[in-house]
Structure 1
Amino acid sequence: MKVFAELVGKYAKYLFIASGLASLALCIFCLIHIPVIKVSTPSAVAYIKKVMDGKGLVESERKTVDFELNQILFNDSRYRMVHSGLWHAGVYGFGILGLIHLLLGLVMVRAEKRAHRTGGSVGAQGKSHQ
Structure 2
Amino acid sequence: MEAVIPTELMVSTKRIHDFDESSNDEGLSTSLDMLEEHREIVTIREVINKQKISKYYDKRVKPMSFRIGDYVRRNNEASWAENTGKLGPNWEGPYEVIRISAIESYILTRLNGERIPRTWHATNLKRCYI
TM-score (norm 2): 0.30
* Greater RCO structure (CA 8 Å; 6+ sep): 1
Higher Cα Rg, which structure: 2
> Counting strand residues as a fraction of each chain, which structure ranks higher?
2
Give the TM-score, by structure 1 length. 0.30
